[in-house]
Structure 1
Amino acid sequence: MSSPVNVLDLSRPAVRTLHLAWVAFFITFVVWFSHAPLMAHIRSAFDLSNQQLKALLILNVALTIPARIVVGMLVDRFGPRLVFSLLLVCSSFFCWGFAFATSYEMLALFRFLGGFVGAGFVIGIRLIGEWFPARQVGMAQGIYGGWGNFGSAAAAMSLPTLALAYGGDDGWRYAIASTGVVSLCYGVFFYLQARNTPKGSTYFKPKRHGGLEVSTWKDFYLYIAMTLPLYIALAVMSWRLSPANLSLLGQTATYAMYTVLAVLFVFQVSQIWRVNRDHLRAGVPDYDRYAFRQVAALDWAYFVTFGSELAVVSMLPLFFMETFALDAVTAGLLASGFAFMNLVARPSGGYFSDRFGRKKSLSVLIAGLAVGYLVMSLVDSGWWIPAAVAATMACSFFVQAGEGAVFAMVPLVKRRMTGQIAGMVGAYGNVGAVTYLTALTFVDASSFFLIIAGSAALCFFVVQFISEPRGQMQETLPDGTVQLIDLT
């Protein structure tokens, strides 16, 4: 029987760690999306075209895909305490570079580098997995993800007012720079207060670095196949910035990006081979095996859940404005309900997983998501506006609860590689956003929602390949002793 997490019980070190973690994640999202509510000021200051603004939005998420993979490796090797602290401190400098940029080229560079802060989410997944038992880890992860994810909404609500308080033509600069100050200070505070594991617990590290260790040759080939969409998404971003679209990159630079991505893919495959060749040839002991299909299914589940959330949040205000002939402020307020659901939906998804089972909960939530987007595809100007908002928020609940259910399972796959698994799953969320937003450029809103609903229906069948975590996970201590970790 699972038990809920009492977030007010600060006498428990685990609860204190949870609060340290979600606040750190919250700050990363404030920094990451600090530019969004101030884009009108930025456009005015630099006299930017719509194409240049779109390019900034793409650059803001471009680096996050590889960053989540890299940060996942780092956190498994060096621990969440050090990596989260360094991420917060380093991100503050990227934030200040953007805030005080003097040209569009500088804006673009620091917006691109600032995307690295979006990888902060991965770090807390490993940290929370270390501090909470399996019967509570789902709800704890949901609180961490849901409350931290609210940072983007908090930035939207607070930074325009802060810019106004600073006043003058540069008020927006000081508002964005202030988030960098908060990030720097909290990075130091986090290092002083956080600990990687409870007292007396072992922080298990991968035996090899450079890629996930897999258990069979079949998993090895599946791992390589699942790596390819990450590079395809980056190639699509490069295409979006090419002369054929936004023209931020020249044709030569675009071809150079394609070449770099191809080389990086070959390099990553070589690293996967280096990490896995010896122990696969020797044979992996039964006690150390895990099924990579678990990771692959969670990748696609997050592709559909978080990927669709990022895409829908980007287009929903305009959808409401055009469908119901509303002004921008009213449309934005109505659309904000989609993001606000994070506060309760993601923890609920984690709790459902703890209480009713991981696979069953994820399956139900993915099915509900598919139905939710199917209903949204039917919304048109003839709908009663409150009914359209209710349909949007109901769909949003299943989307974000599904995200919570995904990461309720991530820490239960293989403890010593939780950071890397979380990094890959998280990166697939960004791949989903790129895919759906690219599709949106070719179809209308109704077809866009139908595409998501159809992909969710396919994902429902993929999720059926997941095995419910049961019994115990086994990890090996440095002295060779096998330690058992409960999965229920």
Structure 2
Amino acid sequence: MRKPSIQLTLQTTSLVTGFMIWVLISSLMPSIKQDIALTESQISMITAIPVILGSLLRIPIGFYTDRFGARNLFIISFIALLIPVFYISVANSFIDLVVGGLFLGIGGAVFSVGVTSLPKYYPKEKQGLINGVYGVGNAGTAITTFGAPIIAKSIGWQKTVQLYLILLLIFIVLNFIIGDRKETKGKQSMVEQLKGVYKNTTLWFLSLFYFITFGAFVAFTMFLPNFLVNNFELDSVDAGIRTAIFIVIATLMRPVGGFLADKFNSFIILMFTFTAVTLSAVILAFSPNIELFTVGCLAVGIFVGIGNGTVFKLVPLYFSNQAGVVNGIVSAMGGLGGFFPPLVLTLVHNITGQYSIAFMALSEVALACLVIVVWMFSQERINKQKSDFFNRNNKVGQSY
């Protein structure tokens, strides 16, 4: 196996590339809609579409990473992305953007590669931090959200999209040369792994937590550029910068969450996370101006970032033997968590003329997660006390 630090760097930068491509359409939407006539409902659909494949593909990609290694999965994924990226650059209709956007989801699906591969290189006491560092690859969304609109103002959005073909080719070559050909690989079939986990309630609780934390990150990333332009009448570049700041904060908080989860009880950190998200969403629901809305957004960014890092500390602790498929399921649920909010926000706005109810829904779901975390924490304490009790009794029995 190659040096862990080399694989961490390569896989993290590969994730940056995948996420840069994943948000191409949403980042360039203010420019795209000037050339292609789109309704608000169509824009919401196009913005949400990349999340579908980016979520569902995470399950097989997580499994096949465990089976064939990160090097092969990154190479295959980036080769597959060349086609939709070029197709979007010549798009001239709503259908073109839907089809191209759907397959851009491959860029978001590669998240499952690193969270499955990297724990093989590090001991358990470091896996929270390592997965958090890998999660910094989310910064790819910030790079595109901030940079793509600026480049598009100079050379047009079509040529801006085509520049990403060069980036893909570079990382295909890098993974081919530097990727680990001797990575330890799993041998269980997907059916065997699924049979071992699908009845485990912990899997579905972790999936729900990631549905909220990463889902909120994805939803805000996809929705904010167009939302800020329409709702607060900001310039597209200004909206892109503000969205990029949100992404950077959430991304930088991810390794912080992983580090804290390595040092302290993960459930306690999740309690703070969901309490803060509950309150922040209430602020968003009652934000009459951009200043208060910014406070709510930044608070959400900080705590969903911490939550993201914490959840993926728990996955290898509970499911070390089914890491590939479980990483895929949990991360898929996180991606799907980003699909529904833009559609719900648009639907609520069309019916009521405002967004408050949708933001309050986020608050209520986060509150439900808080209740579940408290219950899981109490169960963990009870089980630990029982284990300590039996261990003491066994020692007493042995002494006789």
TM-score range, shorter chain: 0.7 to 0.9
Q: Name 1:231's counterpart in structure 2.
A: none
Instruction: Report the 3-state secondary structure (helix = DSSP H, G, I; strand = E; otherwise coil) of the residue aligned with 1:205.
Output: coil
The structure-2 alpha-carbon separation of the partners of 1:30 and 1:327, relative to structure 1 and needing over 3 Å to count, comes to closer
How far the C-alpha of 1:421 sits from its partner, in A, is: 0.9
2:149 maps to a residue whose letter is: P
Q: Name 2:393's counterpart in structure 1.
A: none
How far the C-alpha of 1:350 sits from its partner, in A, is: 0.6
User: What percent of counterpart residues are identical?
Assistant: 25
Q: For residues 359 and 365 of structure 1, what CA distance do their matches in structure 2 show?
A: 10
Instruction: Report the 3-state secondary structure (helix = DSSP H, G, I; strand = E; otherwise coil) of the residue aligned with 2:110.
Output: helix
The within-5 A match list for 1:286-435 is 292-316=200-224, 330=238, 332-381=240-289, 386=291, 388-435=293-340
Q: Name 2:11's counterpart in structure 1.
A: 21
Q: For residues 324 and 178 of structure 1, what CA distance do their matches in structure 2 show?
A: 30
Q: Deviations over 1:172-193 (max 9, x none)?
A: 3232122122112212311321
How far the C-alpha of 1:412 sits from its partner, in A, is: 2.5
Q: For residues 299 and 333 of structure 2, what CA distance do their matches in structure 1 show?
A: 24
Give the number of the structure whose residues are more often helix, by fraction. Answer: 2
Q: Name 1:127's counterpart in structure 2.
A: 117
Q: In 1, are the aligned partners of 2:282 and 2:359 still within 8 Å (CA)? A: yes
Q: In 2, are the aligned partners of 1:142 and 1:346 still within 8 Å (CA)? A: yes
How far the C-alpha of 1:369 sits from its partner, in A, is: 1.9
* 1:156 maps onto 2:145 in alignment: yes
Number of residue pairs the alignment of both structures matches: 375
The structure-2 alpha-carbon separation of the partners of 1:164 and 1:364, relative to structure 1 and needing over 3 Å to count, comes to closer
The within-5 A match list for 1:182-331 is 182-195=167-180, 202-206=184-188, 208-210=189-191, 212-215=193-196, 220=198, 222=199, 292-316=200-224, 330=238
The structure-2 alpha-carbon separation of the partners of 1:334 and 1:203, relative to structure 1 and needing over 3 Å to count, comes to closer
* 1:458 maps onto 2:363 in alignment: no
* 1:180 maps onto 2:161 in alignment: no
Q: In 1, are the aligned partners of 2:23 and 2:141 still within 8 Å (CA)? A: yes
Q: For residues 325 and 308 of structure 1, what CA distance do their matches in structure 2 show?
A: 23
2:121 maps to a residue whose letter is: W
Deviates more, 1:451-460 or 1:111-120: 111-120
Q: Name 1:448's counterpart in structure 2.
A: 358
The within-5 A match list for 1:84-95 is 84-95=74-85
How far the C-alpha of 1:28 sits from its partner, in A, is: 0.4
Q: Deviations over 1:367-418 (max 9, x none)?
A: 222222233333324xxx5555334312321111101111122222333421
The structure-2 alpha-carbon separation of the partners of 1:419 and 1:41, relative to structure 1 and needing over 3 Å to count, comes to same
The structure-2 alpha-carbon separation of the partners of 1:335 and 1:111, relative to structure 1 and needing over 3 Å to count, comes to closer
Q: In 1, are the aligned partners of 2:62 and 2:325 still within 8 Å (CA)? A: yes
Q: For residues 159 and 361 of structure 2, what CA distance do their matches in structure 1 show?
A: 41
Q: For residues 92 and 232 of structure 2, what CA distance do their matches in structure 1 show?
A: 39
Q: For residues 276 and 152 of structure 2, what CA distance do their matches in structure 1 show?
A: 40
Structure 2: runs of 5 or more not aligned:
385-400
2:301 maps to a residue whose letter is: S
Q: For residues 314 and 406 of structure 1, what CA distance do their matches in structure 2 show?
A: 22
Q: Name 1:74's counterpart in structure 2.
A: 64
Aligned CA RMSD, in angstroms, stands at: 3.0
Structure 1: runs of 5 or more not aligned:
1-11, 223-291, 472-488
Q: For residues 182 and 267 of structure 2, what CA distance do their matches in structure 1 show?
A: 27
* 1:62 maps onto 2:52 in alignment: yes
Q: In 1, are the aligned partners of 2:47 and 2:222 still within 8 Å (CA)? A: no
The structure-2 alpha-carbon separation of the partners of 1:301 and 1:348, relative to structure 1 and needing over 3 Å to count, comes to same
Q: Deviations over 1:231-290 (max 9, x none)?
A: xxxxxxxxxxxxxxxxxxxxxxxxxxxxxxxxxxxxxxxxxxxxxxxxxxxxxxxxxxxx
Q: Deviations over 1:283-339 (max 9, x none)?
A: xxxxxxxxx222111100011111122233444456666776755555554454322
Q: Deviations over 1:202-244 (max 9, x none)?
A: 43332x23463444xxx65x4xxxxxxxxxxxxxxxxxxxxxx
